[in-house]
Amino acid sequence: MTCAPALKDRHGRTISYLRISVTDRCDLRCRYCMAEQMTFLPKAALLSLDEIAIIAERFIARGITKIRLTGGEPLVRRDVGDLVKRLGRHIGAKGAEGGLNELTMTTNGNRLAEHAPALVDAGMRRINVSLDSRDPDLFRHITRHGDVARVIDGIFAARDAGLAVKINMVALKGWNEHEIAPMLAWCSDEGLDLTLIETMPLGTVDEDRTDRFLPLTKVLDELKAQFPLVRDTHDSGGPARYWRRADSGTRLGLISPLTANFCDTCNRVRLTTEGILYTCLGHDDQVDLKAILRAEGLPGLDAALDAALLSKPARHDFDIAAATPAVARHMSVTGG
C-alpha cells in the first residue's frame, strides 16, 4: 500500500474522521430513530468485514486518524470483534501507511458486558453508549422493548474493563427533559461523561419530530443554573462543543446541528454497511465504494474518494419543521 495525498474537500476542510456502519440492524427500535416495522438490507448486500477493513485501511493511508464503528448496533454483527482487532493494529502505527490515533464505537450497550474485555484487548480505549433514560418504563417506551438494567450493567462492565465511557443522550421534549440534570449528576457520580444531542430529521418515523425537538440552547441555560459549568477546550475530533463541571471534572458535550451549526469545521465522512460513502449526513450525494472496490481495486478507491470530496457540501440543510425529512434514509442506515 502506498501513501497518497491527504483527504481535503473543496471547501478546504481536512477529512480525518471516518464513521463506519457495520450493520443497519439493531436489537432496539428507538422511536426517534426507526420505524417500528423496519426493512433491513439483505445480508448479500453488505460489505464483508474484510472489505470494510480494506476500505478503512485505504482511508488510514489517506490521513484518516479516527474511526468510529457504528450501526444500527455494531455488536449485533457476528465476528465484529475480528474487525476491531484488525483495525486496532493501526492504532499508534507510523510510516507510509499512516496510523490511527483512535478507534472507538457507539453502541446501545445491550451486548456491551459480553464484548467489553475484547474491545479493550483490541486497543479501544473509549466508547459511547446511547442512553436516553434511566427510568425503566420510559426507556422501554423510547426503545419499544429495551431493558435499561441490561444497558447499565454493560456500561459498568465497560468502565471496569478499562474503557472511558461517554453517555449519548438525545434530548427529547416531553419525554426525557426532566432527566437531563439527574443524568449529568449520575454521570459525575459514576465517572462518566455525558453528551446531549438534538434530534435530527433523518428518515420517516412513527412520531412527529417537531413534538420532541428540544433546543440545547435552552437545556444549557437550565443546566448552568444547577451546576458549575465552565467552557472546556477539549476536542474529541467530532462535532461536540464541551463544558465541564468545575466541581467534578465531568465533561458535558453538546451536539446541536439545528441550533448551533458546526458544518464549517466538519472533518467527517460516513461509510454505510452496504459500501456507500456519504460525505454529509444531511445530503444524498453518494459514491458506491463496494462496487468500485470489487471492479477496480485500490486504485479505483483513491479516485473515488477524491471525486466524492469534490462534491461534499458546505453544510447540511436540516429543518425540524419541514414536512419531509432532510433525507429519506434512517440514521441506522448511514451510521449513528
Beta strands (DSSP E) in 40-92 are: 66-70
Region 192-197: what's the mean pLDDT?
A: 97
Region 102-129: what's the mean pLDDT?
A: 97
Please tell me which residue, 326 or 180, carries the higher pLDDT value: 180
Domain ranges of the chain: 17-334
Q: What is the pLDDT of residue 324?
A: 55
Q: What is the pLDDT of residue 237?
A: 76
Q: What angle do CA 205, 207, 210 make, to 5 degrees?
A: 110
Rounded distance between C-alpha atoms, residue 221 and residue 199, angstroms = 18
pTM: 0.89
Does the structure show a pLDDT above 50 at 269?
yes
Please tell me which residue, 300 or 239, carries the higher pLDDT value: 300
Q: What is the pLDDT of residue 207?
A: 61
Does the structure show a pLDDT above 60 at 260?
no
Q: What is the pLDDT of residue 209?
A: 54
> What confidence category does residue 5 fall into, taking pLDDT thresholds of 50, 70 and 90?
confident
**What crossing angle do the helices spanning 148-161 and 180-190 adopt, rounded to 10°?**
30
Strands 229-232, 241-245: parallel, antiparallel or unpaired by DSSP?
antiparallel
Q: What is the pLDDT of residue 208?
A: 57
Rounded distance between C-alpha atoms, residue 264 and residue 13, angstroms = 8
Q: What is the pLDDT of residue 332?
A: 57
Rounded distance between C-alpha atoms, residue 24 and residue 332, angstroms = 5
Q: Which residues are documented as binding site for GTP?
A: 19, 68, 106, 166, 268-270
Rounded distance between C-alpha atoms, residue 331 and residue 202, angstroms = 6
Give the Å distances, CA to CA, from 308 to 27, 139, 279, 328. Answer: 32, 39, 7, 20
Q: Which residues are documented as binding site for [4Fe-4S] cluster?
A: 26, 30, 33, 263, 266, 280
Q: Which of 106, 143, 109, 148 is nearest to 128 (CA)?
A: 106
Rounded distance between C-alpha atoms, residue 316 and residue 172, angstroms = 21
Please tell me which residue, 262 or 80, carries the higher pLDDT value: 80
Q: Which helix (H) or strand (E) holds 271?
A: strand 268-271
Q: Which residues are documented as binding site for S-adenosyl-L-methionine?
A: 32, 72, 130, 200
32 C-beta neighbours (distance < 10 Å), count: 20
CATH topology for 17-334?
A: TIM Barrel (3.20.20)
Q: What is the pLDDT of residue 280?
A: 83
Q: Which residues are documented as binding site?
A: 19, 26, 30, 32-33, 68, 72, 106, 130, 166, 200, 263, 266, 268-270, 280
Q: What is the pLDDT of residue 2?
A: 44
Region 77-84: what's the mean pLDDT?
A: 94
